[in-house]
Amino acid sequence: MSVPVTGRASAHAGKSIWHAAWLPPAAFRELGSRPVLVHGEGLLVDTVLDEVSRACARYGGRVWHGPPWQVDADLVLALREAGRVPNVAAESARLGATPAVNGAGDGALGDEGYLLARVDGVTVVLADAPAGLLYGMFHVVRLGAAAFDDELPARRHRPALDRRILDHWDNVDIHPVSGQIERGYAGGSLFWRDGAARHDHARLRDYGRLLAACGVNAITVNNVNVHDTEARLLTDRLGDVAETAQVLRPYGVRVHLSVSFAAPVVLGGLPTADPLDDRVRAWWAAATRRVYQRIPDFGGYLVKADSEGRPGPFAYGRDHADGANLLAEALAPHGGVVRWRAFVYDHRQDWRDRSTDRARAAHDHFAPLDGRFDDNVILQVKFGPIDFQPREPVSPVLAAMPATRLAVELQATQEYTGQQRHVCYLGPWWSEVLRFRPRGEAGGTIADVAAGRAGAGGGLVAVANVGDDPFWTAHPLAQANLYAFGRLAWDPLLVPGAILDEWIDLTWLPVATGDPETVRRTMHAIMDDSWRTYERYTAPLGVGFMVRPGHHYGPDVDGYEYTPWGTYHFADRDGVGVDRTRATGTGFTGQYPPPWSEVYESRERCPDELLLFFHHVPYRHVLHSGRTVIQHIYDTHFAGVEEVAAMRERWRLVAGAVDPAVHDRVAERLDEQFRSAVEWRDQINTYFFRKSGVPDAHGRRIH
Q: Which residues bind ligand GCV (CB under 6 A)?
A: 169, 182-183, 224-225, 304, 343, 387
CA distance 592 to 645: 40
CA distance 557 to 548: 8
What values do phi and psi take at 210, rounded to 5? -60, -40
Which is closer to ligand GCV, CB of 209 or CB of 304? 304
Which is closer to ligand GCV, CB of 222 or CB of 628? 222
CB of 387 vs ligand GCV, minimal distance in Å: 5
CA distance 636 to 536: 5
Which is closer to ligand GCV, CB of 91 or CB of 167? 167
CA distance 185 to 181: 8
Which is closer to ligand GCV, CB of 130 or CB of 544? 544
CB of 417 vs ligand GCV, minimal distance in Å: 13
Q: What's the distance, CA 342 to chain centroid?
A: 17
Give yes or no: 415 in active site: yes
Which is closer to ligand GCV, CB of 114 or CB of 568? 568
Distances (CA, A) of 460 to 220, 263, 269, 385: 13, 27, 35, 16
CA distance 227 to 617: 43
CB of 343 vs ligand GCV, minimal distance in Å: 5
Which is closer to ligand GCV, CB of 133 or CB of 406? 406
CB of 421 vs ligand GCV, minimal distance in Å: 17
Which is closer to ligand GCV, CB of 28 or CB of 343? 343
For 270-404, strand residue ranges (E) read 300-303, 337-341, 377-382
CB of 341 vs ligand GCV, minimal distance in Å: 7
CB of 496 vs ligand GCV, minimal distance in Å: 24
Question: Which are the contacts of 87, defined by CB distance < 8 A and separation ≥ 6?
Answer: 37, 69, 71, 72, 73, 76, 122
Q: What is the CA angle 22-23-27, rounded to 5?
A: 115
The residue type found at 312 is: G
Which is closer to ligand GCV, CB of 331 or CB of 381? 381
Instruction: Confirm if 63 and 38 have CB atoms less than 8 A apart.
Output: yes
Phi-psi region of 552 (alpha: psi -120 to 50; beta: other; left: phi over 0): left
Which is closer to ligand GCV, CB of 169 or CB of 534? 169
Instruction: Confirm if 395 and 588 have CB atoms less than 8 A apart.
Output: no
Secondary-structure percent of the chain, ordered helix, strand, coil, rounded to 5 = 40, 15, 45
CB of 122 vs ligand GCV, minimal distance in Å: 49
Catalytic position from the list 74, 319, 409, 415 = 415
Catalytic position from the list 81, 149, 297, 308 = 308
Neighbours of 249 (CB within 10 A): 17
Give yes or no: 387 in active site: yes
- How much is the CA Rg of the chain, to the nearest whole Å? 26
Catalytic position from the list 387, 535, 579, 601 = 387
CB of 183 vs ligand GCV, minimal distance in Å: 5
Which is closer to ligand GCV, CB of 21 or CB of 186? 186
Question: Which are the contacts of 95, defined by CB distance < 8 A and separation ≥ 6?
Answer: none
Rounded to whole angstroms, the maximal C-alpha distance in the chain is: 84
CB of 611 vs ligand GCV, minimal distance in Å: 24
H helices of 249-337, in order, are 263-266, 278-294, 320-331
Which 3 state secondary structure label does DSSP give 118? strand
Instruction: Confirm if 500 and 484 have CB atoms less than 8 A apart.
Output: yes
End-to-end CA distance of the chain: 78
Which is closer to ligand GCV, CB of 87 or CB of 225? 225
Instruction: Confirm if 141 and 31 have CB atoms less than 8 A apart.
Output: yes
CA distance 272 to 315: 10
Phi-psi region of 467 (alpha: psi -120 to 50; beta: other; left: phi over 0): beta
Pairing of strands 164-167, 459-463: parallel
- List the catalytic residues: 308, 387, 415
